[in-house]
């Protein structure tokens, strides 16, 4: 058995992030959802406490945290605001991690200190990092569906194609882009290339109108003969598919943690309401039907949290953790949807009103079973590893 009692440092970190979120993020969650505006005020304050460089080594201006501490941070952000949490989770796990793991020294020194600190070299607020994988014809099928391509022309890559559902694209310093560099196909035909967001020929479409997570910008992107230096490829040409899949493993821990945060927020709202609302002469919290929903929610949240911590522990231990990350992501995301659904049920008709947070939290939670690999893909990952091992 693994002891998941938090260390003193992790407990202090959890308290620090919780206090920050309670002050800077949670009070603005409703406004962020209704306006669709990204919460830059809070994000500009995150660099000083390490939230923008969770996985970035200290030598590049990051916090260099362990995976459990990073999961703790994303859970707390999810508790405060799903929109803000998703942008920060994607920034850290998808936008920064590949550069940390596979980027050359030039790219690391040029970009990581900016995005991890939240400040440019001139001291001005910087933007975030993004990863572009999905295309109109390629979501789960990255190996065979990617058509965005890059050809080598002298000392540059020339990129053409399109991406969609790219989180943070419109608020990014750079976009790590999965492209086909070998037209003959195969597992070695894809590469990850860093594309500065200010590049000529890069067009970022207006933010998508979504069911939830409205304050987290998601954009389509087109690449029209975008030129970047050859050294902007991560690792070696042909390593992109492996890099992307390894990145998604870590990102799934983040989505699972975010799901736990959303569910925790929904449960707290439901409990508070149940203690105040009266029906049939007593508070509805005294009715067995309500107590059962609360008991199931509390149990499932704790189970999901432990799955997240276990996957993070496996990652920190440098053990294979693809199966554990998929388990955590699948269970936590589906759990969050159930908990949020029941939180609305406990509120009755009021739960369907935008005046109560559970309506927003439910809409935000719905994406978690889709993004960074659907529940169906998680089940495939889990089943294949179980079948291979037994």
What's the Rg (C-alpha) of the chain? 21
| CA–CA dist 127, 153 (Å, integer) | 30
CB 262 within 8 A of CB 78: yes
Phi, psi of 246 (to 5 degrees): -65, -35
Measured CA distances, 380 to 5, 66, 383, 386 (Å): 31, 28, 5, 10
Q: Which candidate in 135, 334, 337, 372 is catalytic?
A: 372
Closest CA to 132 of 33, 203, 209, 189: 203
| CA–CA dist 279, 275 (Å, integer) | 11
Residue 70 in tokens: 């990073």
Kindly state the DSSP code that residue 125 receives in the 8-state scheme: B
372 noted as active-site residue: yes
CB 298 within 8 A of CB 375: no
Catalytic residues: 372
């Amino acid at each position: 058995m693994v002891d998941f009692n938090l260390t003193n440092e992790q407990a202090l970190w959890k308290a620090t992030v919780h206090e920050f979120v309670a002050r800077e993020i949670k009070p603005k969650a409703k406004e962020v959802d209704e306006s669709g505006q990204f919460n830059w005020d809070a994000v500009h304050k995150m660099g000083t406490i390490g939230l923008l460089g969770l996985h970035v080594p200290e030598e590049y201006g990051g916090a260099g945290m362990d995976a459990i501490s990073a999961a703790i941070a994303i859970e707390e952000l999810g508790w405060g605001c799903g929109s803000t949490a998703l942008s920060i989770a994607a920034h850290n796990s998808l936008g920064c991690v590949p550069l940390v793991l596979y980027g050359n020294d030039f790219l690391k020194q040029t970009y990581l200190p900016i995005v991890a600190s939240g400040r440019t070299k001139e001291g001005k607020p910087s933007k975030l990092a993004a990863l572009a994988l999905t295309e109109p014809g390629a979501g789960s099928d990255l190996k065979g569906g990617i058509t965005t391509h890059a050809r080598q022309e002298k000392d540059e890559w020339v990129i053409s194609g399109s991406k969609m559902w790219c989180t943070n694209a419109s608020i990014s310093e750079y976009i790590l882009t999965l492209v086909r560099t070998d037209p003959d196909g195969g597992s070695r035909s894809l590469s990850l290339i860093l594309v500065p967001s200010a590049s000529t020929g890069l067009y970022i479409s207006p933010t998508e109108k979504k069911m939830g997570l409205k304050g987290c910008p998601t954009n389509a992107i087109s690449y029209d003969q975008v030129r970047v230096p050859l050294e902007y490829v991560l690792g070696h040409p042909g390593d992109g598919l492996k890099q992307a899949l390894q990145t998604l493993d870590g990102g799934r821990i983040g989505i699972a943690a975010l799901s736990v945060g959303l569910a925790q927020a929904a449960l707290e709202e439901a409990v508070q309401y149940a203690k105040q609302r009266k029906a049939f002469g007593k508070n509805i919290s005294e009715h067995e039907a309500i107590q059962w929903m609360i008991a199931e929610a509390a149990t499932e949240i704790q189970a999901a949290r432990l799955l997240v911590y276990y996957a993070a522990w496996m990652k920190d231990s440098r053990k294979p953790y693809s199966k554990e990350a998929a388990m955590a992501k699948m269970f936590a995301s589906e759990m969050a949807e159930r908990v949020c659904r029941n939180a609305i049920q406990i509120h009755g008709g009021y739960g369907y009103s935008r005046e109560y947070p559970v309506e927003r939290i439910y809409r935000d939670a719905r994406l978690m079973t889709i993004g960074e690999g659907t529940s169906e893909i998680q089940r495939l990952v889990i089943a294949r590893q179980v079948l291979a091992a037994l």
